[in-house]
Structures are given as structure tokens and as C-alpha cells.
Structure 1
Amino acid sequence: MEIKICPNNLSKLELKYIHNLLIEAFEQDFSAEDWQHTFGGTRVIGLIENKVVAHAALVPRRIWLDDIAHQVGYLEGVAVLPKFQKQGFGSELLASVSDFASKNYQWSMLSSSEKHFYRKQGWQDFLGQSFVLINDTAIATQTENDGLMCLAMGKHQIPSPMRAVCEPRSGDYW
């Protein structure tokens, strides 16, 4: 599989194809908000015979970690077309995007129920409490805590922040 790191300048046709890939990979459970969350950053795609079979987006988000504002690389839309799953392509794509993230962001984060997959590439469980900032008030998002993970620059295994506060967005905050 060939891996390409793409700035956010793909054609409408390429974006439509990626959107369809995500819908298929997530078995129709990929909302309009989920799609919008993949915009504004860097896309990493996996190609086989010039066909996109895997995708991930690393989007900059302002997140306060232990009360210090960071520009965090937030990982969204990680998926492989079903007929290419269980062949190592997802791991290969994640290795590339994790390497890119650890070189370009002091911290990166994601939310997933598939945590074992991400741990293999150095992602750590977020062990703290999560919040969303609404009207200058940090509101707990406790249901998100278990799915959050983080990656430190250089993939160093350093203590996870104990408090993370994100800005609100449509759909899932995290």
C-alpha cells in the first residue's frame, strides 16, 4: 500500500470517494458531523493501484491539557474499506499518521472504542477527566473519558494529562 500525506486540497471527486469509503467502513454509522470533523487538517490516505482504500485525518484543535492551551492534532475518520481490512493496511496507515502527528504536534488525541489498535502505535489511554468549554464554563464529558487516548511528541511514554478541555463543535465534542 502506498501512503500519501495530503494537505487539505483534494478535489470534490476525491472527497466524495473518501466520504463513501468512511460510510462503508463505518457500516453507515458515519454522520454529517463526523464527516465535517475530518476537515481543516491533513489527510493521510492509503492507495492500492491508485485507489484509496484507507483514510485518516489529523485536524488541529485547541484543547487545554492540565489548564495549558495546546494546538492538538486530533485524529478523525480512521478507516479501511471492508474488503481490505484485517490485512495490516490499517496498522500501516496508523503508523504513518502517528509518526506525522508525533513530529508536528506536542500532543495528539483521539476518541475510539478500538483502543487496542491504537496502543500498538504508541497511543496511551487518557487517564484524566474530560470537559467541554461552554460559555466559559468547563462541563464534564464523563462518558467520553474511556475512549480518549493521547500521543506525545516523539511518541514518548510520558504521563497522560489529567484534565482535557475542548471547545464545543457539532456532533460529538470529542
Structure 2
Amino acid sequence: MISALPTADLSAGLRADVRRLMDLAFLGNFDDDDFDHALGGTHFLVEQRGTLVAHAAVVQRSFLYEGRAYRCGYVEAVATHPDHRGQGLAAEVMAAAEAVIDRAYDLGALSASTAGRGLYVHRGWLPWRGRTAVLAPEGLTPTPEDDDSTFVRPVPGGPDLDLEATLACDYRNGDVW
């Protein structure tokens, strides 16, 4: 069963469990900035026998598209414990995250690792084919290193997205996408 909790309702122990799961699932390639990016929104958690085995988070970000700012439900920290992979748990937490995005945001977005792309494509997420950028302190800055890893989820009532256009995210420490 999936639990949905805002960051403010995560106990210190559960928050530490989320961090441990990320470190384990991403083989130590999940730094403090990455963890910070997953906080401040809603966490979707699957626990089995008292162990956290799957997680995804949706945080609100501001995206610039075609000269207008939009509320984006940005997916962060999608992971399944290595001993529990292949059971559909990532799909479960993603389904819960997508339901929130569809009801509360203008669009969804995420940055996919090579290993995660299949999950997102299978779930109907669309690869962004245009350019990506960040609204950095020095102004709009292209992020060509993120052009091939950005995926979007159009939502009912959201903007009609031209996947060949430029999409810009708000600035944050660490990886901006």
C-alpha cells in the first residue's frame, strides 16, 4: 500500500530511511543537493515489513514556456530497493505521483537517468525534443547537457506543449534539472 506524506509529516526516522534508500538505489551517486531537491513536496512511499522499498516525490517548481511561467509538478527521487525491483513498485509510486500532478499542476516534468527512461516512456511521459534552459541568477542560460534527459507530462487543462520549443526551469543548487 502506498502512503502519501508531505515532507513536513515525515518523521526523522522515515526521512533518514528515504535518504538511505536513495543512497542504496543510486549506488552512492545521490548527493545532498539531490536529496534537498526531493524535499518540500509530497512523498509517495511503499513499505514492506517495516522497510521502505520504494519512493517518489513531487515538488512544485516554476517553469517558463513560451513566455509564461507555469506551475510544474516535478518528480524527484524515484527509487526501488534493489532487492524489491521487478515487482512494479516504481510504477505504483509513479501512478500516485502522476495523479497528483494531473490534479494540481499545469504540467509534469522530470529528468530521467538512462536506466529510468523505459519506465517513464512506458507510462506515457514524453521526451522533450527542444532545448532546455534554466532561469539562473545571470538570466536565461541554456542547459544542453539536459536536453536528452528531460521528460514532460502534459495535464488536462495545461498548456498545449510544443516538444520542439525551449523549456526553462527555475534555478536551484546542484543539478538544475
TM-score of the superposed pair, with normalisation by structure 2: 0.90
After TM superposition, give the deviation of residue 50 of structure 1 in Å.
4.1
The number of aligned residues is 172
The residue that corresponds to 2:31 in the other structure is 31
CA distance, structure 1, for counterparts of residue 157 and residue 128 of structure 2: 14
Aligned pairs for 1:76-87 (under 5 A) are 76-87=76-87
Residue in structure 1 matched with residue 67 of structure 2 by the alignment: 67
Gaps of 5+ in 2: none
- Asked if the contact 1:80–1:89 (Cα under 8 Å) also holds between the matched residues in 2, the reply is yes
Deviation of 1:155 after TM superposition, in Å, equals 10
The answer to whether the 8 Å contact 2:106/2:157 transfers is: no
Q: Which residue of the partner structure matches residue 5 of structure 2?
A: 6
Aligned to 1:88: 88
The answer on whether the counterparts of 1:125 and 1:160 sit within 8 Å (CA) in structure 2 is no
How many angstroms apart in 2 are the aligned matches of 1:25 and 1:36?
17
User: How far off is 1:4 after superposition?
Assistant: 1.2
Look up the match of 1:51: 51
Q: Is the 8 A contact 2:137 2:171 kept in 1?
A: no
Matches of 1:155 and 1:34 in 2, distance apart?
30
For the structure 1 residues 112 and 90, does the alpha-carbon distance in structure 2 shift closer, same or farther, using more than 3 Å as the test? same
Q: Which residue of 2 aligns with 1:165?
A: 168
1:80 partner amino acid: T
For 1:108-123, what aligned pairs fall within 5 Å after superposition? Answer: 108-113=108-113, 114-123=116-125
Distance 1:120 1:154, change over 3 A: farther
Displacement, 1:173? 0.8
AA at the equivalent of 2:96: S
Contact in 2 for aligned 1:58/1:76 (Cα 8 Å): yes
Aligned letter for 1:146?
D
Residue by residue over 1:86-123, the C-alpha shift from the partner in whole angstroms, topping out at 9 and shown as x without a partner, is 12111122122112211221201000122221012221
Kindly indicate whether the alpha-carbon contact (under 8 Å) linking 1:45 and 1:54 is maintained by their aligned counterparts in 2: yes
Residues 155, 34 of structure 1: alpha-carbon distance in 2 compared, 3 angstrom cutoff: farther
Whole-angstrom CA distance in 1 between matches of 2:74 and 2:39 = 11
Deviation at 1:65, TM superposition (A): 1.6
**Which runs of no fewer than 5 residues in structure 1 stay unpaired?**
none
Normalised by the length of structure 1, the TM-score is 0.91
1:143 to 145, 150, 156: 145
Match of 2:103 in 1: 103
